[in-house]
């Protein structure tokens, strides 16, 4: 059996009077819906490093920090049905992080 692909998902908490979750609305052929920063880990890249890179790449260098790992899910990638491991992280953005990029 091949080694699983590694995917990471970030739940970024923004500090506000009422805490907010950083999400994007995706519209178009690549997907429709609301999601947070996510992506794959490169060869030899650990999940924590990958999630920080993904957030910086999708949001910009806002200086988020990893609070904790939330969960790990082993589920085949839908197309093609190859093994995949997804690690979900809770991250915190610093005070003053803008609402939109």
Overall average pLDDT of the 45-49 stretch = 93
Answer with the residue of higher pLDDT: 22 or 100: 22
Structure tokens at 51: 């999630």
The answer, yes or no, to whether residue 1 has pLDDT greater than 50, is: no
Contact 57, 24 (CB under 8 A): no
CA 90 – CA 21 distance, rounded (Å): 10
pLDDT computed for residue 52 by the predictor: 95
For the chain, the structural domain boundaries read 13-92
CA 52 – CA 72 distance, rounded (Å): 17
Q: 94 pLDDT band (50/70/90 cuts)?
A: confident
Is the pTM value of this prediction over 0.85? no
Q: Is the dihedral of CA 10, 49, 60, 16 positive or negative?
A: positive
Structure tokens at 2: 């091949």
Mean pLDDT of the chain: 84
Overall average pLDDT of the 12-37 stretch = 80
The answer, yes or no, to whether residue 83 has pLDDT greater than 80, is: yes
Q: 46 pLDDT band (50/70/90 cuts)?
A: very high
């Amino acid at each position: 059996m091949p080694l699983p692909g590694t995917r990471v998902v970030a739940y970024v908490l923004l500090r506000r009077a009422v805490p907010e979750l950083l999400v994007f609305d995706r519209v178009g052929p690549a997907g429709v819906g609301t999601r947070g920063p996510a992506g794959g880990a490169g060869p030899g890249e650990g999940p924590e490093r990958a999630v920080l890179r993904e957030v910086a790449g999708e949001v910009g260098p806002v200086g988020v920090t990893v609070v904790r790992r939330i969960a790990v899910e082993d589920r085949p990638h839908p197309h093609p049905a190859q093994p995949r491991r997804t690690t979900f992280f809770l991250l915190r953005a610093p005070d003053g992080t803008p609402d939109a990029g």
